[in-house]
Amino acid sequence: MELQRILMVDDDPDIRTVAHLSLTAVGGFTVELCGSGSEALEKAEAFAPELILLDVMMPGMDGPATLKALREIPALAETPVVFMTAKVQPRDVAQLKACGALDVLAKPFDPMGLPDSLRRIWTPR
């Protein structure tokens, strides 16, 4: 099975635009964009993502809080999550993985390399 459906959650419209272009044009993925944690909660179950790419620092509901809420939706309880953040010190990464993230990617990210990075991280469930 190959990774195809990605839910991307980030409050920065520029990052969403670059990531969307990267994931669709370069990666060939089907992508659903969300600008907030609450929007992700509204859209995620119906979209049925195979991977969730989640910003850490967002106003209102941050990445870890969004992940916790997504885990309470039975259909998304096991969906792999990758956090994206500028804070990638080993302690920060360890804390995010302890929240249940599969991995953590650094921002700013390489748009040309993002699809391959996600394919490497993702493993079929």
Q: pLDDT (tens digit, 9 = 90+) per residue, 3-18?
A: 999 999 999 999 999 9
Determine contact, residues 44/87, Cβ cutoff 8 Å.
Answer: no
pLDDT in tens, 46-57: 999 999 999 999
Q: Is the pTM of this model over 0.75?
A: yes
pLDDT higher than threshold 80 for residue 123: no
Average pLDDT over residues 86-98: 94
- Segments making up each domain of the chain, as ranges: 5-120
CATH number of 5-120: 3.40.50.2300
For residue 124, pLDDT beyond 70: no
Three-class secondary structure of residue 19 per DSSP? helix
Residue in 105, 106, 115, 111 with CA at minimum distance from that of residue 81: 105
Asked whether the beta carbons of 12 and 33 are under 8 A apart, the reply is no
Residue type, 53: L
- Distance CA(75)–CA(108), nearest Å, equals 30
**Would you state the pLDDT for residue 1?**
79
Closest Cα to residue 27, out of 60, 9, 3?
3
Tokens of 94: 């360890």
